[in-house]
Amino acid sequence: MKATGIVRRVDVLGRVVVPKEIRKIFNIGEGDPLEIFTEKDGIILKKYSPLSNMDGVADDVSFALFRQTGKCVFICDKDVFISASGSGVKEILGKEISKQVYSLITNRQTLVCSFEDGGAPIMLTENESFGFLNQLIMPIRVNDEAVGSIIICDKSKESRISTGEIELTELACEVLAGRFR
């Protein structure tokens, strides 16, 4: 564990305030769930991600979409990439999503971008576009709250995101969301 030098007292109701600086660093907003872990000598708070606790289901879904579309497939929660399938995509695992992807998720918006139609793809992480020319970014909604996104991408100038791929992605989002109902 890394010491922060910040000390807080527990109030009469057992509450502890997480300092604003720490919340900002870990992108913790008001109402965000935190998971509590214990260690032999302490307590650990971690931002909770329902998608990261799915015992390989996200990996199965991303691989199935990759096999059906032939395009790279990523699944992310509201912070990091948790699954990836396709050629040369594993290096994105664990990396933070870009502010643009985060905005699409939190606003529950779908983005379809095809090179042939003159669309401009967005950055997947803050520093990398990975050279993708076509993108489909669709939020995973659970009870009208977006918990993450499925992203399908490819680098082909001749390809585009098809209606079939959009429908498959909608189905995959429903499968993942169904794990929470």
Stretch 28-46: mean pLDDT: 84
- Residue 27 binned pLDDT confidence (cut-offs 50, 70, 90): confident
Does pTM surpass 0.75? Answer: yes
Could you state, in order of their start, the residue ranges of all structural domains in the chain?
A: 1-48, 51-178
- Categorize the per-residue pLDDT at 64 as very low, low, confident or very high, splitting at 50, 70 and 90: very high
pLDDT score at 63: 95
CB 140 within 8 A of CB 177: yes
pLDDT at 135: 95
Residue 181 has pLDDT above 80, yes or no: no
Q: pLDDT (tens digit, 9 = 90+) per residue, 76-119? A: 999 899 999 998 888 898 899 999 999 999 999 999 998 888 88
**Which pLDDT belongs to residue 50?**
67
Residue range 127-155, pLDDT digits in tens: 887 889 999 999 999 888 899 999 999 99
Handedness of CA 131, 177, 81, 4 (dihedral sign): positive
Band (52; pLDDT cuts 50, 70, 90): low
Average pLDDT over residues 46-51: 73
Specify whether domain 51-178 bears CATH 3.10.300.10. no
pLDDT band for position 4 (50/70/90)? confident
Q: pLDDT over 70 for what percent of the chain?
A: 94
CATH architecture of 1-48: Ribbon (2.10)
Query: Does residue 48 carry a pLDDT above 80?
Result: no
Q: What is the DSSP string of the chain?
A: -----------TTS--PPPHHHHHHTT--TT--EEEEEETTEEEEEE--GGGGSTTHHHHHHHHHHHHH-SEEEEEESSBEEEEESTT-GGGTTPBPPHHHHHHHHTT--EEE-GGGT--PPPSSSS--TT--EEEEEEEEETTEEEEEEEEEE--SS----HHHHHHHHHHHHHHHHTT-
